[in-house]
Amino acid sequence: MRKSEFGVIGLGVMGKNLSLNIAEKGFKVSVYNRNEGDEANFVTNFLNENSSFKNILGYHSIEKFVASLEKPRKILMMVKAGSVVDYVINQLTDFLDSEDIIIDGGNSYFLDTKKRYDALQKKNIQFIGCGISGGEEGARKGPSMMPGGNNSSYKLVAPVLETIAAKDANNKPCCTFVGKDGAGHFVKMIHNGIEYAEMQLLAEMYAMMSISMTNESISAIFSSWNKSDLSSYLLEITSKILIKKEAGNYIIDTILDKAGNKGTGSWSSKLALDIGIPATIMTSAVFARYLSAFKEKRKKLSVLISREKATFEIPRTKILEKAYRFARIINHQQGFEIISVCSSEQNWDINLSELSRIWTNGCIIRSNLMNDVSEIFKNNPELIDDTSIFETLKISENAVSKLLKSGIDNRISLDAFYAAYNYWVSMTTKRLPANLIQAQRDFFGAHTYQKIDENPSQYFHTNW
Ligand code: 6PG
């Protein structure tokens, strides 16, 4: 019997849909899932539900699963990030041969991927850490894929990955070799940081608009923005979410206001802190989720605040639109800056234009702006260097300050918009009060300081 061209381990939502996507494109695919506990029957159920696919073979034994694959074997693991990844790799390696390829398609931490890559290289097994974005629908119809590892093993899996990936406006696959070892998982992590910030900006805009608008009208505005340069997948789904009803009620009004997270946003923020990049919007988005989790405390304290809401008018829609455009650009500026700096530090040589190109479709942060970003990075090292981006920011600053003033008047927390505004103001201010910080540091700790008109390599200390 002809062996399978590809294997998938893990039949959770993503694993199932990716397997179907691969099979639908005509590849013969073997699938494996552990047959225990709440995952017993995963394989059997999957095969039964998809019996029309004759090119999917299911296995309960990892050994038989491996034996069903053509060499070099290409195995995509879709399991929970963390220790499960190591567990499955250990199980697998007993049965693998030299040059077989394992792909980790989960949201693994990139430094873990780097360690696994190095460890498997020693055993002559190739390892690809592949960020995959697009959720359930993306997995089934075409995700954005961010593989990292080494280019020669990527070339062997590219025929499958590039076939199942989403396609950009020029019909090129939204899948490209990102860089060595952990680069693929690293960019997926930052993708998620950008995603957190994009979501928070929409949430804050919704909070602002809700003061005086119905769900229907907010949805209509979002939907009209979605026909403009502001168009994005997240804006599109948000306009749909706002008007979805169940038993006559808007679902959105029935959802508890406690945001969850699986960690990639805080990983991105922590990394930004470690490498000295002010990724202020994604960080405020992470904190906003954490703040929301204190529901009981918020409820208790809110009773002590008697101020009425909706006392003050909110800015006109045109102002809101400009402020939203502004904050999104700053978010992308910050996110790509982390990538650029980390890429140099790790010698990944990530091509920012190509990376943003594979984010123009399939992934959660796909947008019109991402198309522009991809073009801008062809000629500029940073988004903010592009004259038209800079002009847009310049002419929108006023709109953001109006939004923020109204946020204060109406007692609406707009942390992500503040972060965007303050980043812009600081970045375009020649003299910041950091001279005082330096003086204080020198006063209490003799940390020394540089002087404005002196050689920057010279440090001074004052006996204060
Ligand atoms: C994607 C998403 C996805 C992520 C979820 C949940 O690109 O498809 O980024 O990978 O895991 O959005 O993330 P949180 O639970 O942390 O919000």
Q: What pLDDT, in 10s, does the model give residues 230-263?
A: 999 999 999 999 999 999 999 999 999 999 999 9
- Whole-angstrom distance, CA of residue 74 vs CA of residue 99: 10
- Bridge partner list, 133: 144
- Bridge partner list, 101: 74, 126
Task: Report domain extents, the chain.
Answer: 6-181, 189-427, 434-464
- Whole-angstrom distance, CA of residue 202 vs CA of residue 222: 9
User: What percent of the chain has pLDDT above 90?
Assistant: 97
Give me the pLDDT at residue 303, please: 92
pLDDT band (50, 70, 90) for residue 109: very high
Give me the pLDDT at residue 313, please: 86
Show the DSSP H helices in 253-294 as ranges.
Answer: 264-275, 280-292
Q: What is the mean pLDDT of residues 360-379?
A: 98
198 lines ligand 1 (CB under 6 A): no
- Whole-angstrom distance, CA of residue 62 vs CA of residue 318: 58
Pairing of strands 74-77, 6-9: parallel
Q: What pLDDT, in 10s, does the model give residues 283-314?
A: 999 999 999 999 999 999 999 987 665 567 88
- How far apart, in Å, do the first and last CA atoms of the chain sit? 84
- Whole-angstrom distance, CA of residue 441 vs CA of residue 448: 7
Q: Which two tokens stand for residue 319?
A: 């102002």
Give me the pLDDT at residue 327, please: 98
Question: Per CATH, which fold does 6-181 belong to?
Answer: Rossmann fold (3.40.50)
Nearest Cα neighbor of 82 from 46, 109, 122 is 109
pTM for this prediction: 0.96
Q: Determine which residue's CA is closest to atom 10 belonging to ligand 1.
A: 133
Catalytic residue set: 188, 195
CATH superfamily to which 189-427 belongs: N-(1-d-carboxylethyl)-l-norvaline Dehydrogenase; domain 2 (1.10.1040.10)
Q: What pLDDT, in 10s, does the model give residues 432-455?
A: 999 999 999 999 999 999 999 999
- R_g over Cα of the chain: 25
Taking the CA of residue 259 as reference, the ligand 1 atom at the shortest distance is: 17
How close is the Cα of 299 to the center of ligand 1, in Å? Answer: 28
Q: What is the DSSP string of 169-203?
A: TTS-BSB---EETTHHHHHHHHHHHHHHHHHHHHH
CA atoms within 13 A on the CB side of 420: 34
Give me the pLDDT at residue 311, please: 64
Q: What is the mean pLDDT of residues 180-194?
A: 98
- Whole-angstrom distance, CA of residue 95 vs CA of residue 147: 24
Give me the pLDDT at residue 312, please: 76
Question: Quick check: 55 and 28 in contact, CB under 8 A?
Answer: yes
Taking the CA of residue 363 as reference, the ligand 1 atom at the shortest distance is: 7
Q: What pLDDT, in 10s, does the model give residues 302-347?
A: 999 876 655 678 899 999 999 999 999 999 999 999 999 999 999 9
107 lines ligand 1 (CB under 6 A): yes
Q: What is the mean pLDDT of residues 251-280?
A: 97
102 lines ligand 1 (CB under 6 A): no
Q: What is the mean pLDDT of residues 62-87?
A: 97
Q: What is the mean pLDDT of residues 371-382?
A: 97
pLDDT band (50, 70, 90) for residue 107: very high
How close is the Cα of 194 to the center of ligand 1, in Å? Answer: 11
- Whole-angstrom distance, CA of residue 112 vs CA of residue 117: 8
Phi, psi of 179 (to 5 degrees): 165, 180
Taking the CA of residue 192 as reference, the ligand 1 atom at the shortest distance is: 9
Question: Per CATH, which fold does 434-464 belong to?
Answer: 1.20.5
363 lines ligand 1 (CB under 6 A): yes
Question: Quick check: 144 and 138 in contact, CB under 8 A?
Answer: yes
Question: Quick check: 92 and 66 in contact, CB under 8 A?
Answer: yes
Question: Quick check: 357 and 176 in contact, CB under 8 A?
Answer: yes
What kind and span of H or E run contains 352? helix 352-358
3-state DSSP helix/strand/coil % of the chain, to nearest 5: 55, 10, 35
Q: Determine which residue's CA is closest to atom 8 belonging to ligand 1.
A: 133
* 106 pLDDT higher than 70: yes
